[in-house]
Structure 1
Amino acid sequence: MVGGVSQFLKFGRKKTLDGTARPARASVPIDPARLKTEQRVPLASEILQRLDLVDSQLQSPLFGRLPRELRDLVWRYALTRYEDIDCLYDIQRTYARPGQAAPQRVAVELLETCRAVYIEAYLTPFQVNPIMVFHGDSNDVPPAMPLMRTVENPLLVRKLKYWQFANISSVEITIQQANLEGGGLERVSRLVGTKGRHHGQESRGYAMTGYAYFVSPVEPEESTSKADSKEVSDKPLPPLPNLLIGRKITHLSVRLSRTDWWGWEDRPNEYTLPPEERLRIEPMINVTRLWGRPGNYTAMTKGYEARKAGEEPDFQLDDFEKQGRWGMQVGEYCPDLTTLDLILETFFCKRNQLNYVAQCAKLWTFPLEDGFHLVWNGKEEAVRWRGAQSYKYERGQDWFTTENVPGRIEAQGYTKIRWGDYPDASEDSNRQEFVMRTLTFERRRIQ
């Protein structure tokens, strides 16, 4: 059975994420009470109360030889999302990039193989795959993505049952810098329910506004399946965990795509570019683009120089401005984080600007509770790739096609990658090139 796991890595368009088939259109009314029960209790809860009906599958090497810990690794690998390369996105779409070149699928068919597999792995798709949230240009939202929400359309994942939504523990955000510096992390937090999860509350779906709805847990009711199980065996069964209790959000990815920066349309005049037209971001200032405060444009550099000297920068913010610092909002709205990935993307011709941003970011720390901080762990990934020759967002500006082509210039320190089945970079030198740097921050206690 281990060797056959790969056969399930195909997408079933008629399956839900928990592996059950979507109900056919019924000619009789659907019982509302039954639907309410399915929202709160998965089929696995009933099966776990009748283990006498589950074949242990000991004749299979997967169950007969591998311990549970190794089987869990198999489930996590098999149920992690993957790109359906048979349905590649149009390369001219702004959302097409490495890691997001095609719709992402989850091989939930694995859960239908047998009950033994199902009761061990039914939570895995939600525990290993992040919920994706887009807060910016709607043209950057890829279609056909599982576990996806947008701030503009927060009802995209309302098909998830309460217990499914509760068991998600990681979030990926693609956000415009204007929204990041304008309270975007709070809005994302309300969509995902990070505060309710932090306090151990139960998922109750979504409010009318689309925000996640969590409430204080209640005592579990005595189920009929549990009563029936007593007739089968006198041995008392252990209580089932409350699957509605929201799992804490422990991993967050924040992505700024190439068109999400302040001044992303400005020409890349490397040596004459004024500070207000360069790539810049500083987590401990509220907004880096304020015409009335030109000092905000250089806040990233000021912060870097202070931290390099072992000091915390003082930007002379008033109390109202301090509330808008997105660097403080990371810990405020996601207090349970153990890792944070900062993913920064830009045009090839602005790579030196991005390199400087990454250099500054390595000294950032994000305060959490109880004296913990998110600190750069010394690891980073730098990649470059080629996309299309032109995009709709260029609006007649020529520098995208004249200066954003690699030519003979190499991006030092960047790993060149090929993605999807698109032509290799050497086959078409007129394709635009992009670069991306990923920094990882880990939870640590620091002085």
Structure 2
Amino acid sequence: MVRETYQRMRTRFRPRQQVMPDSSSYVPLRRSPRGAEEPPLAIELLKHPESINPQLSSPIFSKLPSEIREQIWRLSLTRYENLHSIYVISSQHARPGQAGPWRVAVELLLTCRAIYVEAFLKPFQVNPIAVFETNYNSIPLNNPLTRASSNLLLCQKLKSWQFANISSVEMTVQQYVLEGGAIERISRLIGTSGRHKGYESRNYTSTGYAAFVEPTNSDDSNLRVGRKITNLTIRMLRTDWWTWETDPEECRRSVTSRLRLEPMINVTELPARPENSLAMTRGYEARKSGNEPDFGLDDFEKEGRWGMQIGEYWPDLTTLELVLETFGCKQDQLDYVAKCAKLWTFPLPDGYHLAWRGEDAFRWQGAEAYHYEGRFHTWFKEQNKARGTENQDPPLLQWLPADARAADGQEFIVRTIIFERRRDSDR
């Protein structure tokens, strides 16, 4: 019974088999040995191009060049928010870009074989894997291509060739996790080392980490060779900072209570070293003078710097994005973090580094109250009020339909800081 159910589900999600005018040219699928991972249908189809209707009556194939079709498939198969199933606005995971569950329009691949063989890899090539090392309430529900520290096996439903063709990663992390080795740990979840070496994906180890081995000569081995991870997004949400709960008034009185982020120190919140909380400012002053900061770290501490781990464990990056969010009443603190970040560089192998390219910012309004506020933190409601829709910097983003917005929602600020790959000689 289980086997029959599986067969029905597998048949349901395959592209419809299109019979050519000459039905004798139809080529049935070749079954894989029991226990072996079944290769994609495209492998068999491309061996027998006569079984694919060229669809010459369709202007998509008869008039558009393949380069234009490529862009169509990329845009059509990029994830989108399902606004027919909007999250409750007071949910911590409800935010711009995540108003509802992510969806990918894979139904496009079911239309005909001609579209399928051109676009079957696109859902994995254009969409990132989203990795969450943060508060469980910040993890969106029922989303594809998602992994989390609470469940390392979420992506095990992906076949090895699907997993191999992913080239971008979004990680959402709490600051203490970022400074505690998340860059290395997530690289093992994604298999960045094996991808860098050109190895083949063999799915996952028993502990949930990516498994890559030297290539074989099987029919579908070229699909299972891991694509290099070239784009990485590191996101910190408003409750992910060390000092996120601190009253803004206290932050104005105490420099050590403000938001801070410094890639070349291992921990910015260390009771044994209170001076670490000032590392971001010290680093900014040193770089402004043309020097790299010296924080007096020993060899063990130097290995824990997340800024150096990026080049060590993610050597193929062409872009790095830091997406930083905070409460609207702490905008000045986030602005200062962004100012310091303009001088950051991240060393890469072979004479390259990541350097600041630009940034973007917006503000958005959420719910009137959230579960994390509690009775001891009255400043959330008192100071984090919306400023209205007037022309202000940064601009207000409308991310929900009008009937789903809160009448007096709190305001949040998001800054995206972009770094790009450059040669060291360009410094």
Task: Output the TM-score relative to the length of structure 2.
Answer: 0.90
Q: Deviations over 1:402-432 (max 9, x none)?
A: 111035797952011111225587x73x311
- Of 296, 299, 303, which residue of structure 1 is paired with 2:279? 299
| Structure 1 range deviating more: 406-415 or 106-115 | 406-415
CA–CA distance in 1 between the matches of 2:42 and 2:67?
19
- Of 331, 354, 364, which residue of structure 1 is paired with 2:344? 364
Question: Is 2:401 the counterpart of 1:439?
Answer: no
| 1:126–1:217 Cα change, 3 Å | same
Which residues of 2 match residues 134-145 of structure 1 at below 5 A? Answer: 134-145=132-143
| 1:340–1:271 Cα change, 3 Å | closer
- Of 20, 29, 34, which residue of structure 1 is paired with 2:14? 20
Match of 2:100 in 1: 102
CA–CA distance in 2 between the matches of 1:15 and 1:419?
35
| 1:19–1:63 Cα change, 3 Å | farther
Structure 1 unaligned regions, length at least 5 = 1-13, 22-30, 222-239
- Of 161, 164, 179, which residue of structure 2 is paired with 1:163? 161
- Of 364, 371, 386, which residue of structure 2 is paired with 1:406? 386
Match of 1:227 in 2: none
CA drift at 1:446: 2.4
Match of 2:82 in 1: 84
Cα contact 2:387–2:411 (8 A) shared by 1: no
* Aligned residue identity for 2:116: Y
Give the percent of matched residue pairs that are identical in Structure 1 and Structure 2: 56
Match of 2:374 in 1: 395
Match of 1:33 in 2: 33
Cα contact 2:175–2:236 (8 A) shared by 1: yes
Question: Is 2:329 the counterpart of 1:345?
Answer: no
| SS, match of residue 415 in structure 1 | coil
Structure 2 unaligned regions, length at least 5 = 1-7, 16-30
| SS, match of residue 373 in structure 1 | strand
| 1:340–1:15 Cα change, 3 Å | farther
CA drift at 1:381: 1.1
Cα contact 1:386–1:434 (8 A) shared by 2: yes
Q: Which aligned segments of 4 or more residues in structure 1 are displaced greater than 2 angstroms?
A: 18-21, 31-35, 270-273, 406-413, 422-425
| SS, match of residue 87 in structure 1 | coil
* Aligned residue identity for 2:413: V
CA–CA distance in 2 between the matches of 1:334 and 1:141?
24
Question: Is 2:253 the counterpart of 1:255?
Answer: no
| 1:422–1:137 Cα change, 3 Å | farther
Q: Deviations over 1:176-206 (max 9, x none)?
A: 0000000011111111111111111111111
Question: Is 2:357 the counterpart of 1:382?
Answer: no
| 1:200–1:407 Cα change, 3 Å | closer
Cα contact 1:365–1:376 (8 A) shared by 2: yes
| Structure 1 range deviating more: 298-307 or 411-420 | 411-420
Cα contact 1:191–1:211 (8 A) shared by 2: yes
* Aligned residue identity for 2:410: Q
| SS, match of residue 213 in structure 1 | strand
Cα contact 2:250–2:257 (8 A) shared by 1: no
Query: CA RMSD of the aligned region, Å?
Result: 2.1
Cα contact 2:361–2:416 (8 A) shared by 1: yes
Which residues of 2 match residues 260-275 of structure 1 at below 5 A? Answer: 260-269=240-249, 272-275=252-255
The total of aligned residue pairs comes to 402
CA–CA distance in 1 between the matches of 2:182 and 2:402?
34
CA drift at 1:32: 7.9
Which residues of 2 match residues 170-181 of structure 1 at below 5 A? Answer: 170-181=168-179
- Of 50, 53, 56, which residue of structure 2 is paired with 1:52? 50
Cα contact 2:262–2:279 (8 A) shared by 1: yes
* Aligned residue identity for 2:145: L
- Of 198, 211, 224, which residue of structure 2 is paired with 1:244? 224
